[in-house]
Amino acid sequence: MTEKAYTFGSTIAKKLDYFAYPRTGSHFLWACFTGLFDLVFYENEYTYLPEAIQRFDELNPLSCYSLKLRQDGVPFQPVCIEANANGLHGEPVLRGNRTLILIRDPHPTVYSIIKTAGDRWGKNGHETIESIRDLYEKYTLFYKKAFSLANDDPASVFIIRYEDAIHDQGILEKIVAYVEVEPKLSCDFVHYWTSFERMTNNGEKTFYRQGDNEAWKKDEEWSSLVESAEVGSFKEFGY
């Protein structure tokens, strides 16, 4: 595909950039994007990764189908959201496009990435104070850059909190207003079908684990490791 493919007759695709670190809820948010917008993409090196394709095995086909629908009378409006604007999980930068940045409380996020590495990819033994501290530091630097960009150019940056988005369909309404297109499905419909319970299949899951921000608190061994790592406070980011 070329950039010309993103012009449909007289309709030109809205272009936005997107940034997020691993396990912050991107797959939930992209499911929301799928329901809200007529997404178009440039193919890239990550498009056909086998691991990415396998993730769909854990998703509810009915939810996936529902999000591909559109309401009668809604005009087609292509939206291109570039998720690799600075490389996969690259730090946020402004390139002249409106920019969406997803964040999540670092505590459940780091817990999720460590547990997923063990359960899905067999990378056990990473639960060390040094590795935990290193991960927290990476998220801290990413968030600092995100908020710095938002403070410098608030009209160009929309920071989305995962916790808010999963509980409040109003966040989806704000995203739609920011993108400035009529959604192909209503925000309440999209919010309904992207709940963790409806979006994922029943049974054991490795990639879409629990969708629970409190799970890390119930793991006493993990909580002890985090305390020993002295990862600090995240109040400056609202956590």
pLDDT, residue 1, reads: 43
What was the pLDDT predicted at 119? 57
Q: How far is CA 115 from the centre of its chain?
A: 18
Give the residue from 179, 150, 164, 173 showing the smallest Cα distance to 104.
164
Name all domains of the chain by residue range, CATH numbers in brackets.
3-237 (3.40.50)
pLDDT in tens, 186-230: 999 999 999 988 988 776 655 556 667 777 788 888 888 888 889
Query: What is the average per-residue pLDDT within 66-75?
Result: 96
Query: Which two three-digit tokens encode residue 212?
Result: 């629970």
**Res 216: pLDDT:** 79
Residues 6+ apart with CB under 8 A from 111: 215, 216, 219, 222
Q: Given a cut of 80, is residue 23 above it in pLDDT?
A: yes
CA atoms within 13 A on the CB side of 229: 22
Q: What is the pTM of this model?
A: 0.87
DSSP-H helix ranges across 25-105: 26-36, 50-54, 61-67
Q: Distance between CA 161 and CA 28 in Å, rounded?
A: 12
Query: For residue 56, is it left (φ>0), alpha (ψ between -120 and 50) or beta?
Result: alpha
pLDDT greater than 60 at residue 4: no
